[in-house]
Structure 1
Amino acid sequence: MDQVSPGEEPRKTELLLGLRSLGLTMRRAQKGRIATRIALTRRHISVESTLYPITIRILQPPIPSVETHNLIMAASLPLSSSSSTTICSSIFNQIPNSIQPFIHPINFSSKSQQHRVCLGLRSGSSCRSTPIRAVISEVPNQNQKYAKIGAGSTGPISSAQLLESVEFAAKTGAEVVMEAVNKPRNISYKGLTDLVTDTDKMSEAAILSVVRKNFPDHLILGEEGGVIGDSSSDYLWCIDPLDGTTNFAHGYPSFAVSVGVLFRGKPAAAAVVEFVGGAMCWNTRTFSAVAGGGAFCNGQKIHVSQTDNVERALLVTGFGYEHDDPWATNMTLFKEFTDISRGVRRLGAAAVDMCHVALGIVEAYWEYRLKPWDMAAGVLIVEEAGGAVSRMDGGKFTVFDRSLLVSNGVLHSKLLERIGPATEELKGKGIDFSLWYKPDDYNTEL
């Protein structure tokens, strides 16, 4: 960052709190009491607050261990000698404000008038930087261990560590997408209507970097990059770096970054970062789950709806790129369920659709011919939110299957009464619904 020369008028820009390019968060425990305006110069940031003034000085030189996207600063906070104030440490960074930083509460004693904070660390820690991590969900069953996986292994992994790693990987990809969301797209085509953008590739590269750095012996299946790594690993990361690429390309708010991890073929941990809002006001929310630990949205536990009548249900489906018999059958199902429910939506992002079932804002979602990276994260989030998952013929589901029905559980059998026979008719016509793909030598317990 440039030095301000003697006599030079500092360049000042006023920024409203919440602007995505800023990401400075100042809060007090009392709800609603937050800083209202920020003035930024080359050397200082001043915050006008209903609570207290604050000046944040940018440290020079930068700390060597700082990630390139972080700026580390010290904050001098004048405090009243007659009271003790609890605030949250602030992190100034270039990560979108919608991807919330990992913030530790810090208690300031009334004995001191000022307190210097090395931002991003716990109070009292040594002054060094750690990578920014987004909000970490509550994680029950933290003592659960996944087994060691062979020579050169990264060793046993707790469910808490696995979930944290999956969330961090997904949010790393989401940073790339957020950076690009309001910029022109460089679009190419994998098929007549199947798009891929540079952002898909950049997001996947960012996620791969995180996974391979932390788990070099794990197997990875990415939408853009295919299979990478050791197929003898018990762990398989299924990565969709930009689920809903067509929506992204048009600026339509239904797309996400989806990362799911399988352990011996079964979903173990998942994170989906959904983009919401719209042009010039994008935001995100993060869905996450670990096997046996519940499902969460932005750290708050979620549950499927309790609607038990199809006539009161809102449903979601998806259509593949091939306009063949399964596509025609699904069009028929779409029409039938539109007539007997409160409506059927087609949003165009499988991971988002499943997270909406888990959140309880829709009751069910079905689709033919999905891929493992489409489903690995979403199905676990639905199951941990109390929902049901099966193939569209009612059979037991795996992420390598080619049809999927997820629901709030209460309506599952009622939906299968129509979806099941339609799927059996397709099988009778010779449509193959056997396992779509499983990496060679990948060990599963399916």
Structure 2
Amino acid sequence: MGEGNDIPLVGGKSFTAVAINCAAKAGEWIKTKLGNHTSLSIKYSAQDLVTEVDKGAEKMIRNLVGTHFPHHSFLGEEGVEPGPEASTKALQSVKDAEYLWIVDPIDGTTNFVHGFPYFSVSIALAHWGEVIVGVVYDPMRDELFVAEKGKGAYVRGRRMAVSGEQTLRDSLLATGFPADPNYAQPLNMKQLQAIAPQVRNVRSLGSAALHMAYVASGRLSGFWEIGLNSWDLAAGALLVKESGGAVTDLQGNEYHLGVRHVAASNSHLHGEFLQVLQQAEAGS
């Protein structure tokens, strides 16, 4: 990632180095627990799960961050009550903090529970509401995706760039199936039905943060999902933007921490992508 003096610092400590260290330590611990979790609880819906490993990983990250930056604010998924209203309220209470760490300890808990090896640790740092550091770590592949505002994004130490597909018909997209069965899930299915015939193919692997990292690294042309939260998106959004891609809400407005319905792409096909999603939403 270049020389150490290029990394954002506060009091001589590197934000990025701390984020990387937190993600790596939590990820390695999570990996040892694959197939060994002892508790499973349902949160907002039958598709919204949590284990003691999620909670333990978040506590580990919170403690590590607090050791280095005790005065920084912290927003972690497992510290928030289930449901979109509680998530919105939790973000509102901290979004104006000078420094805010935004953490999803296991993005892809359902995969983790089933032993499906596709999940990640997502850590972002926002400064006055703008994400300046984003780290997504895939412990099963030992892949670390890192971005700093204005300084590019990297995986395995190599600079990332989005893919070059110019049209939807040449694209490989991804989506996620929402936990909300009343609004988000039916809308997502309408969008999928509209998108699928117009693209090369669609994937759904169960981790929004990794889907965003894959858009950033050129492995996917685009990604969309309904009903996400800041901890799902903050790190991945910076990865995509720093790799030359576009991240917006479904109306085409620039990403901010409050965005819940997201579209990310290589930017070349973003307009066409949004148009199909908007038509599907209008038809619903």
**TM-score in same-fold range (> 0.5):** yes
- Spell out, residue by residue over 1:166-224, the C-alpha distance to the aligned partner (whole angstroms, 9 max, x if none): 11111121122022124254212113221111110111111011100000000000000
Superposed displacement of residue 144, structure 1: 5.7
Cα distance between partner residues in 1 of 2:123 and 2:41: 23
Query: What is the letter of the counterpart of residue 118 of structure 2?
Result: S
Q: Distance in 1 between matches of 2:2 and 2:221?
A: 25
Is 2:96 the counterpart of 1:240? Answer: no
Equivalent-residue separation in structure 2 for 1:304 and 1:224 (angstroms): 31
Which position in structure 1 is the counterpart of 2:185? 327
Q: Secondary structure at the match of 1:374?
A: helix
Aligned 8 A contact 2:191 2:281 in 1: no
2:212 aligns to what? 354
**Alpha-carbon distance in structure 2 between the residues aligned to 1:326 and 1:251:** 26
Higher relative contact order (CA 8 A, sep 6+): 2
1:252 corresponds to which of 108, 116, 120: 116
2: CA distance, partners of 1:259 / 1:367? 19
Computing the radius of gyration from Cα coordinates, the structure with the larger value is: 1
Aligned counterparts of 1:139 and 1:379: Cα–Cα separation in 2: 24
Amino acid at match of 1:162: F
Q: CA–CA distance in 2 between the matches of 1:143 and 1:246?
A: 34
The alpha-carbon deviation at position 399 of structure 1 amounts to 1.8
Identity %: 33
Give the distance between the partners of 1:202 and 1:143, measured in 2 at CA: 28
Q: Across the two proteins, how many residue pairs are aligned to each other?
A: 272
1:336-347 map, 5 Å = 336-347=194-205
Measured at CA, do residues 157 and 419 of structure 1 come closer, stay the same or move farther in structure 2, by a change above 3 Å?
farther
Aligned residue in 1 for 2:79: 225
The partner residue of 1:183 within 16, 36, 45 is 36
State how far apart, in whole Å, the 2-side matches of 1:217 and 1:157 are: 15
Partner letter of residue 16 of structure 2? L
Query: Which amino acid counterpart does residue 207 of structure 1 have in structure 2?
Result: I
Q: Does 1:162 align with 2:18?
A: no
Unaligned runs of 5+ in 1: 1-136, 146-154, 277-282, 427-446
Structure 1 residue 250: deviation in Å? 0.6
Q: Residues 374 and 268 of structure 1: is their aligned pair in 2 closer, same or farther, counting only changes over 3 Å?
A: same
Secondary structure of the 2:78 match is coil
Cα distance in 1 between the residues matched to 2:41 and 2:132: 33
Secondary structure in 2 aligned to 1:224? helix
Asked if 2 retains the 8 angstrom alpha-carbon contact of 1:176 and 1:202, the reply is: no
User: 2: CA distance between counterparts of 1:349 and 1:144?
Assistant: 28
Structure 1 counterpart of 2:269, which letter? L
1:220 partner SS: strand
Structure 1 residue 314 and structure 2 residue 178: aligned?
no
Q: 1:301 to 1:328 in 2, by over 3 A?
A: same
CA distance in 1: counterparts of 2:239 and 2:34, whole angstroms: 25
**Greater Cα offset, 174-183 or 380-389:** 174-183
Structure 2 counterparts to residues 99-138 of structure 1, below 5 A: 137-138=1-2
Alpha-carbon RMSD: 2.2
- When residues 325 and 182 of structure 1 are mapped into structure 2, their CA distance, relative to the original with a 3 A threshold, is closer
Structure 2 vs 1, CA of residues 420 and 274 (structure 1 numbering), >3 Å: closer, same or farther? same
- Cα contact 2:190–2:280 (8 A) shared by 1: no
2 CA distance for matches of 1:416 and 1:354?
Answer: 16
Conservation of the 8 A alpha-carbon contact between 1:393 and 1:423: no
Q: 1:166 to 1:397 in 2, by over 3 A?
A: same
Relative to its length, the structure with more helix (as a share) is 2
Partner of 2:58: 204
Change (3 A) 1:143 1:330: closer
Structure 1 residue 337: Cα displacement: 1.6
Distance verdict in 2 for CA 1:356–1:219, change over 3 Å: same
Aligned to 1:274: 138
Q: Which amino acid aligns with 1:248?
A: F
- Among 216, 219, 228, the alignment partner of 1:370 is 228
Distance 1:233 1:329 in 2: 33
| Aligned amino acid, residue 153 of structure 2 | A
CA distance in 1, matches of 2:109, 2:195: 27
User: Aligned partners of 2:34 and 2:40: how far apart in 1?
Assistant: 13
TM-score by length of 1: 0.58
Quote the residue 1:262 is aligned against: 126
Partner Cα distance (2:202, 2:38) in 1: 30
Taking structure 2 as the reference length, the TM-score comes to 0.89
